[in-house]
């Protein structure tokens, strides 16, 4: 079945369901949070990042936290729990603290939940986190949302569909839940966010258009110009807006007409701009998102009048067909390159990546160029996995080749240069190891603790060159601390 038919049919069902969202059946009654959420809480500093709050019931677990300057233990506040793929809780907390301040949210980032853990372990860690925060911080238990990136998004989604106390989830760079549920709930909201160059972009797009369409789950998708990464702040602002609008739609908080109107106007203006420029496909995607965002809060007659004729629009139909073909080609290319990891030499990789880069330049701005960029993003992760796997097996020649490929496909990735440095250190090639470490720092490597504790560099960590690298990193860290 063509994706156009699937999208039109399922979105039509979703529109019918969204139109009935004000019925008694779906209406959420405002309730007072449980007593345990407003008993005397601890006095934490407000308006600043707390990098490590240790869980009282399990000292091996901790989290980063930001309490808005308006926070007080005399009332409850909405909260967003963030799950980073590498267990770096400070990353999302520091990146989005200004938004937490703007909207009056508490944001907490787990320092333990990360890729590679079993689902049972992930659940246990999350439960410990939730329990600790709820006992110590004044939160509104009706306004709990989860946020995750990559593997952290899969954990966040898995927790949401199995936990009735979570209002919604914001998944960035991945969507499929870490574990399926035999009886998944539907009384939650889902927002997907992905870069148009993210290797998981297709997964994200399909999850929104197909997997969730037709289900009574309020959902939407936002794409931005970027790769597999935490979204920029301006994009995440839309996610905070999404949670606010959903809280109003559910009557968890009073409807703020001025707030809704002020935030609806930019959407309406952008739709008109797209229409003026005859950008039918852009209009089609935005009007669906606008309806999902503002359903039940503003008069959407104008939006429905825009959407209805676009369902039969020839340009939209052509774009959707092209998108479907691009997805098929992208999937085929990924399979092709995975086989190449086991069959092709470095010279072949050099030639092929050069060819791929030329295709991106030749098709600049097109969907095909974005597809090739997503393939490169995919190869970056695949190279990392291949290299680390070979290192674990002490297969250093293979690891070296995969590191070379890693640098070829993702030359600005600090991890690619760091892993390459470890190979040179193992080979006792001090000059090249230092060179690669400098490249890692040049491209953003700042994990000084990892570098200084890495036994791979024991034979060079007393050298002046190594000490200079450490100094560069500490200088960067100091500057970052001054900024924040």
Domain boundaries, the chain: 3-254, 317-483
pLDDT score for 456: 95
Q: Is residue 28 predicted with pLDDT exceeding 90?
A: no
Average pLDDT, the chain: 90
pLDDT score for 18: 39
pTM, whole model, 2 decimals? 0.86
243-280 tens-digit pLDDT: 999 999 999 999 999 999 999 999 999 999 999 999 99
- Return d(Cα 334, Cα 337) in angstroms, integer: 5
- Return d(Cα 134, Cα 336) in angstroms, integer: 48
> Quick one: pLDDT band at residue 14, thresholds 50, 70, 90?
very low
What φ, ψ does residue 81 adopt, rounded to 5°? -95, 125
Six-digit token string for 355: 């060819």
Q: Is residue 345 predicted with pLDDT exceeding 50?
A: yes
- Return d(Cα 126, Cα 110) in angstroms, integer: 8
Q: Which residues contact 151 (CB under 8 A, 6 or more apart)?
A: 85, 114, 115, 174, 178
pLDDT score for 11: 47
What φ, ψ does residue 427 adopt, rounded to 5°? -80, 0
Q: Report which listed range, 36-40, 177-181, 294-298, is most confident.
A: 294-298
Over residues 305-309, mean pLDDT: 96
Q: Is 277 helix (H, G, I), strand (E, B) or coil?
A: coil
33-90 tens-digit pLDDT: 344 455 678 999 999 999 999 999 999 999 999 999 999 999 999 999 999 999 999 9
pLDDT score for 24: 33
168-172 vs 139-149, strand pairing mode: parallel
CATH number for the domain formed by residue range(s) 3-254: 3.40.50.1820
Q: Is residue 109 predicted with pLDDT exceeding 90?
A: yes
Q: Which residues contact 333 (CB under 8 A, 6 or more apart)?
A: 371, 375
450-463 tens-digit pLDDT: 999 999 999 999 99
pLDDT score for 482: 65
Q: Is residue 156 predicted with pLDDT exceeding 90?
A: yes
Q: Is 166 helix (H, G, I), strand (E, B) or coil?
A: coil
Q: How far is CA 34 from the centre of its chain?
A: 31
pLDDT score for 35: 43
Q: Is residue 19 predicted with pLDDT exceeding 60?
A: no
Q: Is 85 helix (H, G, I), strand (E, B) or coil?
A: coil
Six-digit token string for 174: 């991945």
What φ, ψ does residue 33 adopt, rounded to 5°? -55, 150
Q: Is residue 113 predicted with pLDDT exceeding 50?
A: yes
Higher pLDDT, 21 or 439: 439
Beta bridge partners of residue 77, listed in sequence order: 139
Beta bridge partners of residue 65, listed in sequence order: 50, 108
Complete edge-to-edge strand list for the sheet that includes strand 77-83: 49-54, 62-66, 106-110, 77-83, 139-149, 168-172, 189-195, 218-224
H or E element, residue 337: helix 314-343
pLDDT score for 78: 98
pLDDT score for 366: 87
pLDDT score for 479: 83
Task: Provide the sign of the torsion angle of the four alpha carbons 303, 305, 311, 316, taken in this order.
Answer: negative
Beta bridge partners of residue 222, listed in sequence order: 193
62-66 vs 49-54, strand pairing mode: antiparallel
Beta bridge partners of residue 169, listed in sequence order: 146, 190
pLDDT score for 444: 94
Fold of the domain spanning 317-483 = 1.25.40
H or E element, residue 469: helix 464-483
N-term to C-term CA, the chain: 51
CB 115 within 8 A of CB 86: yes
- Return d(Cα 44, Cα 139) in angstroms, integer: 13
379-414 tens-digit pLDDT: 999 999 999 999 999 999 999 999 999 999 999 999
Q: Which residues contact 375 (CB under 8 A, 6 or more apart)?
A: 199, 330, 333, 334, 337, 356
What angle is formed at CA 259 by the lines to CA 256 and CA 265, rounded to 5 degrees? 135
Whole-number Cα distances in Å, 431 to 437, 444, 474: 10, 20, 22
Over residues 349-369, mean pLDDT: 93
Over residues 233-252, mean pLDDT: 97
pLDDT score for 185: 81
pLDDT score for 39: 62
């Amino acid at each position: 079945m063509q994706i156009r038919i699937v999208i039109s049919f399922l979105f039509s069902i979703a529109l019918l369901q969204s139109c009935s969202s004000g019925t008694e059946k779906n209406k959420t009654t405002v309730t007072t949070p449980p007593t345990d959420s407003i008993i005397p809480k601890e006095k934490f500093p407000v308006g600043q990042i707390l990098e490590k709050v240790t869980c009282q019931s399990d000292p091996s677990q901790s989290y980063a936290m930001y309490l808005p300057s308006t926070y007080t233990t005399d009332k409850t506040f909405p909260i967003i729990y963030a799950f980073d793929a590498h267990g770096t809780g400070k990353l999302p907390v520091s990146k989005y603290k200004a938004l937490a301040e703007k909207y009056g949210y508490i944001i907490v980032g787990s320092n333990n939940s990360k890729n590679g853990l079993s689902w049972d372990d992930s659940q246990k860690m999350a439960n410990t986190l939730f329990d600790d925060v709820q006992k110590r911080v004044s939160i509104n238990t009706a306004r709990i949302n989860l946020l995750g990136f990559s593997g952290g998004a899969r954990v966040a989604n898995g927790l949401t569909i199995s936990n009735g106390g979570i209002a919604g989830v914001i998944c960035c760079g991945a969507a499929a839940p870490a574990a399926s549920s035999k009886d998944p709930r539907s009384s939650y909201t889902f927002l997907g966010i992905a870069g148009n160059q993210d290797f998981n972009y297709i997964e994200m797009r399909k999850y929104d258009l197909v997997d969730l369409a037709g289900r009574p789950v309020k959902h939407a998708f936002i794409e931005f110009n970027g790769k597999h990464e935490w979204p920029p702040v301006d994009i995440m602002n839309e996610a905070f807006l999404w949670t606010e609008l959903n809280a109003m739609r559910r009557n968890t908080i009073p409807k703020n007409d001025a707030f809704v109107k002020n935030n609806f106007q930019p959407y309406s203006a952008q739709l008109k701009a797209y229409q003026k420029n005859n950008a039918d496909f852009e209009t089609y995607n935005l009007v669906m998102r606008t309806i999902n965002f503002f359903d039940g809060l503003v008069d959407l007659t104008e939006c429905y009048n825009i959407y209805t004729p676009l369902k039969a629009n020839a340009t939209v139909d052509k774009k959707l067909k092209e998108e479907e073909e691009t997805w098929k080609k992208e999937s085929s290319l990924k399979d092709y390159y995975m086989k190449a990891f086991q069959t092709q030499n470095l010279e072949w990789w050099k030639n092929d990546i050069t060819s791929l880069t030329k295709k991106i330049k030749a098709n600049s701005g097109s969907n095909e160029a974005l597809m090739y960029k997503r393939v490169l993003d995919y190869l970056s992760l695949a190279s990392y996995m291949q290299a680390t796997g070979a290192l674990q097996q002490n297969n250093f020649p293979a690891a070296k080749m995969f590191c070379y490929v890693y640098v070829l496909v993702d030359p600005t990735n600090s991890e690619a240069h760091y892993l390459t440095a470890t190979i040179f250190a193992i080979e006792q090639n001090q000059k090249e190891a230092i060179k690669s470490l400098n490249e890692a720092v040049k491209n953003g490597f700042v994990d000084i603790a990892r570098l200084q504790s890495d036994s791979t560099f024991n034979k060079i960590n007393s050298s002046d060159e190594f000490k200079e690298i450490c100094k560069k990193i500490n200088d960067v860290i100091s500057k970052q601390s001054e900024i924040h």
